[in-house]
Amino acid sequence: MDYAKLREMTGFSFACFTESFLASMAFIVLIRSLRILSCNLEVQLFSCYRG
């Protein structure tokens, strides 16, 4: 068993996992903020159209 190799592999996979996790979190936050923004725009347009 090559411990250096194993540590290198696990470290790499952990970094990879962390990177993908952060990327997915950022994606979710982006989607959520875009949805909120579009909702606000719709509300403003609707109130302008109605009023």
Report the alpha-carbon angle 12-6-19, nearest 5: 15
pLDDT in tens, 1-44: 688 887 888 888 888 888 999 999 999 999 999 998 988 888 88
pLDDT at 15: 84
Number of domains in the chain: 1
Q: Which domain holds residue 26?
A: 3-49
Dihedral of CA atoms 43, 44, 50, 51 in degrees, nearest 10, equals 140
Q: Report residue 2: phi and psi, to 5°.
A: -95, 105
Using alpha carbons only, how large is the chain's radius of gyration in Å? 22
Could you tell me the pTM of the whole model? 0.55
